């Protein structure tokens, strides 16, 4: 396992997964800086994205929660991964990175399925609850993509001109929140009804 060199310091990163009172904790060793992580829909896997900030390389890794074993690597981004999300059916992982791409992966094989050229790939990512729509954050807007065809449905201004760092659908899919952090450390958030944004 290669170490991460950061400002001349040797850093060994561990990701702690708390499995509950009846199970021992797992420490997942990964040599890159973790900047995004999410459990699979069934809770059996943990996907972690990030990279080497100094060398500007990015990758994601998938771990088995029960054993802590590395089961897959997702390699191909040319800069640090800052956003990661599982599709609701668990058959796709989407990552966004500083290389201005959003990439769709097969978590079982590690195969790259599709690449979207984005205005800012490090913005937030979120699937709608039905898995049909992917929202991605950009500088002052949110893009809605058809998750199956990967075609852009619409881009919507959100009321501020800075990068949308986080996006989230409500559980019933009727609302979409887009947020960023201000220079004063405050959350600026816009909440809309995505159904009104999408073309019929």
Q: What is the mean pLDDT of residues 84-95?
A: 96
How far apart are the C-alpha atoms of 51 and 82, rounded to whole Å? 9
Question: Please, which pLDDT band fits residue 176 given cuts at 50, 70 and 90?
Answer: confident
Interval 130-157: pLDDT, tens = 999 999 888 778 888 999 999 998 888 7
- pLDDT tens column, 20-67: 555 556 666 666 677 888 999 999 999 998 876 656 678 899 998 888
d(Cα 193, Cα 136) in Å, to the nearest integer? 15
Give burial (CB, 10 Å; 0-12/13-18/19+) of 157. exposed
Output phi, psi for 191, to 5 deg. -120, 125
Please say if the pLDDT value at position 4 is more than 70: no
User: Going from the N-terminus, what domains does the chain have, and what CATH number goes with each?
Assistant: 1-121 (2.130.10.10), 123-200 (2.40.10)
- Record the pTM: 0.78
DSSP, residue by residue, 78-104? SS-EEEEEE-TTSS-EEEEETTSEEEE
Q: How many CB atoms lie within 10 A of CB 152?
A: 12
Report the pLDDT value the prediction gives residue 163, as an integer from 0 to 100.
Answer: 74
């Amino acid at each position: 396992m290669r170490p991460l060199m950061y400002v001349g310091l040797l850093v060994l990163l561990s990701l702690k997964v708390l499995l509950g009172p009846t199970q021992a904790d797992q420490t997942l060793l990964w040599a890159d800086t973790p900047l995004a992580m999410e459990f699979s829909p069934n809770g059996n896997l943990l996907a972690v994205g990030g990279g080497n900030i100094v060398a500007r390389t990015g990758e994601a890794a998938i771990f088995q929660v029960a054993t802590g074993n590395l089961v897959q690597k997702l390699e191909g981004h040319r800069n640090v991964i800052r956003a990661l999300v599982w599709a609701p059916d668990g058959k796709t992982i989407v990552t966004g990175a500083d290389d201005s791409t959003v990439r769709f992966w097969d978590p079982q094989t590690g195969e790259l399925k599709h690449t979207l050229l984005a205005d800012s790939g490090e913005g937030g990512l979120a699937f709608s609850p039905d898995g049909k729509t992917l929202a991605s954050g950009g500088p002052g807007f949110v893009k809605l993509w058809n998750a199956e065809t990967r075609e852009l449905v619409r881009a919507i201004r959100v009321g501020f001109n800075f990068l949308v760092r986080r996006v989230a659908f409500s559980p019933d899919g009727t609302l979409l929140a887009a947020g960023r952090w201000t220079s004063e450390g405050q959350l600026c958030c816009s909440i809309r009804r995505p159904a009104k944004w999408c073309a019929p």
